[in-house]
Amino acid sequence: MSELLTIDKLRAGYGEAVVLPSMSLTLAEGEVLALLGRNGTGKTTLINSIVGVTRRFSGHIRIGGTDVTALRPDQRARAGIGWVPQERNIFKSLTVEENLTAVARPGPWTVERVYQMFPRLEERRANFGNQLSGGEQQMLAIGRALTLNPKLLLLDEPTEGLAPIIVDELLKALGEITRSGGMCSIIVEQNARKILNLADRVVILERGTIVHQASSAALQADPATLERYLGVSGAAGH
């Protein structure tokens, strides 16, 4: 499989503060990466740096062979980056349908296909963003990122603050989305148990540096590492 994302010795942060001292990471087409670590370890900063909203001191980022290092966030989106931030950032004064069509680009992910994935959104298609529940807003944020037809899908804490039944629904959908081919995904998640079954590979960060990486299956079978870096006791089963 060809590399879709290449991060080479990226040094980035905010203002004068360096959060990622020298980050190098590659992701292949179709690969799903779980980005794990305790709070404040640089996970969101890495996502934000790929999107282009942090300060870059040095290093390079390539998407599908195209160097996007010097591009603005909107240009990076057009180059193939779909982003679902923690804040969701949906257009609350637009309807569900308007949210989905506002940024849509040609490709396999149409508004109709998003509705098939999230039937609840179709039911609420005429509702404004601010009339949706938290779970529905998250579905809309994911759906909107998909209608960009990205090469790389970035999901920052997609299940945070949602009811368990909605979390299960979202994770099932994410499993289908990430397996649908053509793109790679990075999912930031606090709860390793939730996400390991979805991911192919796991990277654990501490102080903006990769301290452990392994296949998802290998980490699930390694409770000592889970406990050491993530404070997860016992095997990471269901």
pLDDT one-digit tens code per residue, 104-142: 999 999 999 999 999 999 999 999 999 999 999 999 999
The whole-number pLDDT of residue 233 equals 63
The whole-number pLDDT of residue 1 equals 59
Distance CA 165, CA 124 (A): 19
Q: How confident is the model at residue 194 (pLDDT cuts 50, 70, 90)?
A: confident
pLDDT, mean of residues 197-219: 96
Task: Identify which of 221, 215, 200, 192 has the alpha carbon closest to the alpha carbon of residue 43.
Answer: 192
Contact 189, 167 (CB under 8 A): no
Listed by start position, the domains of the chain span 3-80+150-230
Six token digits for residue 105:
């680009």
Kindly list the distances between the CA atom of residue 196 and the CA atoms of 13, 90, 164, 188, in Å, as whole numbers in the listed order. Answer: 27, 27, 17, 11
Query: What mean pLDDT, rounded, does the chain reach?
Result: 92
pLDDT tops 50 at residue 98: yes
What three-state secondary structure class fits 50?
helix
Third-level CATH fold of 3-80+150-230 = Rossmann fold (3.40.50)
Q: How confident is the model at residue 150 (pLDDT cuts 50, 70, 90)?
A: very high
